[in-house]
Amino acid sequence: MSAPSLLNELEENIRRLPLGDQLLLIERVSHRIRTDISGKMDIDAQLSKMAADPEIQKELREIEQEFSTTEQDGLDD
C-alpha cells in the first residue's frame, strides 16, 4: 500500500473515533514527536560538546598524523 493511500485510510479511521479519542491520539502522537526531536537535539548537543573538547581534538590530530602517510596512496575519498 502506498504512503498516500495509507495516510488516507488512517485519516478516515481517525474520523470514525469519538472526538475525545481523536484528541487523545493527537496528544500521544505530538508527545512522541517532541520526544524524538528532543532526543535528536540532545545527541547534537553532545556531539558539539565532544567536538569542542580539547582532549578529543588532540586525539583527532594524533589519528590524523598517524594516517597521514596513507593520504598519498592514490585512493580518493
pTM equals 0.49
Angle between helices 3-16 and 19-52 (to 10 degrees): 130
- Please determine, for residue 75, whether its predicted confidence score (pLDDT) is greater than 80: no
Q: Which of 23-27, 30-34, 41-45, 55-59 bottoms out in mean pLDDT, i.e. has the lowest? A: 41-45
Cell 580539547, located at residue:
54
Number of domains in the chain: 1
Phi first, then psi: give them for residue 28, nearest 5 degrees. Answer: -65, -45
With respect to residue 75, please indicate whether it lies within any of the assigned structural domains. Answer: no
Query: Which range of residues forms the domain containing residue 13?
Result: 3-68
Tell me if 8 is assigned to some domain: yes
| Whole-number pLDDT of residue 38 | 81
Residue 45: count of CB within 10 angstroms of its CB? 10
Please check whether residue 77 lies inside any domain of the structure. no
